[in-house]
Structure 1
Amino acid sequence: MSIESDHRASDSPYVTRVWRGRTSGVENMTSVATSTWELVFWDDEGVVHAAVRGPETTATTAEFTGDSESFGITFAHGTSMPHLPMARLVDGGVESPHVTERTFVLRGEEWEIPGIDNAEQFVQKLVHAGVLTRDPLVDEVVWGGIAKVGTRSIQRRVASATGLTQGAIRQIERAREAAVLLGEGIAPLEVVNRLGYYDQPHLAKALQRFIGRTATQLRRRDDADDPMSLLYKTEDPERS
């Protein structure tokens, strides 16, 4: 039972990460919460699929049968598709109605399936065609920036572009960062202090809800646990 993954950051303002993976003999996987959405392609026993997958507000268990290869583009906060309201995608997704080995349908148009090396060029094509738009204010305020508009306007724009509230995004991202730190061997109390949790029970509750693991499990990386979906350090784009 194994999961192999490869991922990289992106220099596109529309994209936060590009990744690909392979599963072999995996029956169950813990899909951790994420505040971003993705365009995902996967080959399941010779059948190619494509889907827009929305933010996930809790950790869930995904089931696999046989071997599978996948590729995904994870979009930055503020990037959205006007024809697919983000609120509809939260904790769900929309699969392409027609997919071949080389092409898929999005917004009623046929597109060539990209790969990890040309993901940004593909995204730019979507931008030029009006399939993708970006509200730069959203990414800025999610990372703690101060916007020159009213609070209600910010709330509306964040919800429209992400399907989530600022508070929900920050809770999810903080739990993901905590999981990464614990996996690096940082003590739970130090994680509490670094990330501003009230105490260790507060951290434990967040980990269970958003990551589906305890601090002990994350630190020991027990092979008996189900494998997890991709976790990585997220950074303020202004500091990266």
Structure 2
Amino acid sequence: MALETEDRESDSPYIARVWRGRSCGVERMTSVATANWELVFWTEQGVVRAAVRGPETAASAAAVPDGSESFGITFSHGTRMPHLPVPRLVNTQLESPHATPRSFVLRGEEWPLPGFSTAEQFAARLVRAGVLVRDPLVAEALGGAPPSAGTRSVQRRVAASTGLAQGAIQRIERARQAAVLLAEGAAPLDVTHRLGYYDQPHLARSLTRYIGRTATQLRREDAGEPLSLLYKTDACGRS
């Protein structure tokens, strides 16, 4: 049984990460919370499908078709599609009405299917067509840079661009960072202090809600079903 994944960072300001995966003998996985939205493509029993997947505010169980292959572009904070507001996508996804091994439909137009090595070129094409836009202020605010606008203005623009409040994003990304550290062998007490949790019960509640695992399960890798992609994040606020 395996859920094999590969991922990489991107040099595009519009993309946070590019990933791909393949399942073998896995029926279910735990989909961990994420503060980013994605374009996801997958093949199931020879049928190609595509969807825009919104942020997920809690861990959940997800079915994994045996032998399926998937590929995704995770977009950076501040990147959005004006025709499809991210707040409408939180905890849900919108599937393309038509997808083939060569193309899919987005904003009522047909686009060539991107690949693991061509995600940046694809995003650039979407930008030129006005399908993707980016608010640098949101990226700056979530990256810890001094705000160049008033607090309320920043809050409104973060919510409009990401579908989530700034504090919610920080809590999700801090839990993901904690999960990565624990999986690497860090002690729960060290993670508690390093990431600014009040105490270990606070860490435990965060892991249960956003990751769907306890610290022990993450350190021993003994959970009954695999986790979706985890990677280190830059934003780990103390909200």
State TM-score, norm by structure 2.
0.97
Q: How many residues align?
A: 235
Task: Tell me, in whole angstroms, the C-alpha distance in 1 between the residues paired with 2:153 and 2:136.
Answer: 14
Please give the residue correspondences for 1:104-143 in structure 2 after superposition, counting only pairs within 5 Å. 104-143=104-143
Deviation at 1:149, TM superposition (A): 1.1
The match for 1:225 is: 224
1:193-212 residue pairs with structure 2 within 5 A? Answer: 193-212=193-212
The answer on 1:78 being equivalent to 2:75 is: no
Structure 1: distance between partners of 2:108 and 2:124: 18
| Distance in 2, Cα, partners of 1:176 & 1:214 | 12
Using the alignment, how far apart are the partners of 1:213 and 1:78 within structure 2?
Answer: 29
Distance 2:65 2:120 in 1: 31
Please report how far the alpha carbon of residue 65 of structure 1 lies from its aligned counterpart in structure 2 after TM superposition: 3.0
Match of 1:16?
16
Output one character per residue of 1:58-86: Cα deviation in whole Å (capped at 9) or x when no partner. 00000123210000000000000000011
Provide the C-alpha distance between the structure 2 equivalents of 1:205 and 1:150, rounded to a whole number of angstroms: 32
Q: Would you say 1:177 and 2:187 are equivalent positions?
A: no
Residues of 2 paired with 1:72 and 1:65: CA distance? Answer: 16
Q: What one-letter code is carried by the residue in structure 2 that aligns with 1:82? A: P
Q: Give 1:142 deviation, angstroms.
A: 0.8
Name the structure 2 match of 1:46: 46
Q: CA separation in 2, counterparts of 1:60 and 1:81? A: 25
Native 8 Å contact 2:23 2:65 kept in 1: no
Question: How much has 1:233 moved relative to structure 2?
Answer: 0.9
Tell me the amino acid that sits aligned with residue 118 of structure 2. N
Q: Which ranges of structure 1 fall in alignment gaps of 5 or more residues? A: none
| Runs (5+) with no aligned partner, structure 2 | none
- 1:175-232: CA deviation from partner (whole Å, max 9, x where unpaired): 000000000100000000000000000000000000000000000011x520000001
Q: Is 2:167 the partner of 1:167? A: yes
Check conservation: 2:137, 2:148, Cα contact below 8 A. Answer: no
Q: Alignment partner of 1:191: what SS?
A: helix
- The code of the aligned residue for 1:167 comes to G
Match of 2:233 in 1: 234
Q: What is residue 30 of structure 1 aligned with on the other side?
A: 30
Alignment RMSD: 0.8
Q: Percent of aligned pairs with the same residue?
A: 67
Secondary structure of the residue aligned to 2:5 is strand
In 1, the alpha carbon distance for the partners of 2:148 and 2:22 equals 44
Please tell me whether the aligned partners of residues 77 and 139 of structure 2 are also in contact (alpha carbons under 8 angstroms): yes
